[in-house]
């Protein structure tokens, strides 16, 4: 016979490892957001008039900041996050190629406006991404979170093409310099190969983000948000 008593299930306490993981990822995402905010700020302050000074101002800082992103491949490999290892590795590897094999090896190319547009596209993308991760981890559910969520699933339509095209221009410029130096023949060959693989690589990353956006829309979270807002508005009216 069914009982009229209401049964309650005690909430499951997260393990100590889970708590440590959450704290680590929250710190990592918050620090990364701050680091990219600094990059974006410096480029924005210099503007177009002083864009040739950006490499001197942020070149080394950008190299170190982006190099730390190798940790994200490790995070995916060991299961700290659910990000796919392949797409994470592809994105991080492409960025490392840019900061080490292109910009650091051929600083002359950084005087081009493409360096600044690349840095600003990377910066805005990462500010949004890491802010979204942080807010999601603390279960934030307010207008700020939904604004960042909107930015995450819409701004990439512009930021990804701008960043990828800027990278492509810098690779081409570096290749032109390298091919004139016999001592850099192998690097020139590698850069030439990069100019061919960059467009399909961009296509993979772009369609991946489109898939993420589609998955988010189909998850029903937007419908839940609208339902909560509707219920709140109705309650307020009553």
Q: Rounded to 5 degrees, what are φ and ψ at 66? A: -70, -35
DSSP string over 39-89 = HHHHHHHHTTTTGGGHHHHHHHHHHHHHHTTHHHHHHHHHTSS---HHHHH
Of the listed 115, 144, 160, 165, which one is catalytic? 160
Number of helices and strands (H, E) in the chain?
A: 9, 0
Query: Could you tell me where the DSSP H helices lie in 138-220?
Result: 143-152, 156-178, 185-218
Of the listed 38, 153, 167, 234, which one is catalytic? 167
Task: Judge whether 132 counts as a catalytic residue.
Answer: no
Task: Judge whether 56 counts as a catalytic residue.
Answer: no
Q: What is the largest CA-CA distance in the chain?
A: 88
Q: How far apart are CA 79 and CA 162, in angstroms?
A: 31
Q: How far apart are CA 162 and CA 160, in angstroms?
A: 6
Q: Which residue numbers are catalytic? A: 160, 167
């Amino acid at each position: 016979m069914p009982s009229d008593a209401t049964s309650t299930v005690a909430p499951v306490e997260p393990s100590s490892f889970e708590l440590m993981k959450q704290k680590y990822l929250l710190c990592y995402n918050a620090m990364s957001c701050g680091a990219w905010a600094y990059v974006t700020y410096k480029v924005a302050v210099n503007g177009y008039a002083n864009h040739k000074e950006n490499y001197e101002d942020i070149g080394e800082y950008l190299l170190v900041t982006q190099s730390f992103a190798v940790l994200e491949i490790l995070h995916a490999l060991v299961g700290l996050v659910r990000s796919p290892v392949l797409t994470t590795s592809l994105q991080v590897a492409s960025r490392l190629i840019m900061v080490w094999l292109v910009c650091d090896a051929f600083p002359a190319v950084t005087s081009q406006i493409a360096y600044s547009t690349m840095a600003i596209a990377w910066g805005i993308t990462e500010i949004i991404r890491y802010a979204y991760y942080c807010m999601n981890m603390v279960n934030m559910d307010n207008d700020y979170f939904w604004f960042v969520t909107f930015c995450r699933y819409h701004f990439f339509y512009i930021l990804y093409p701008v960043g990828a095209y800027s990278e492509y221009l810098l690779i081409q410029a570096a290749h032109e310099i390298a091919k004139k130096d016999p001592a850099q023949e192998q690097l020139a060959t590698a850069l030439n190969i990069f100019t061919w693989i960059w467009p399909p690589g961009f296509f993979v990353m772009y369609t991946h983000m489109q898939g993420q956006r589609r998955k988010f829309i189909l998850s029903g979270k937007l419908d839940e948000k609208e339902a909560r807002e509707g219920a709140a508005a109705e309650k307020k009216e009553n």
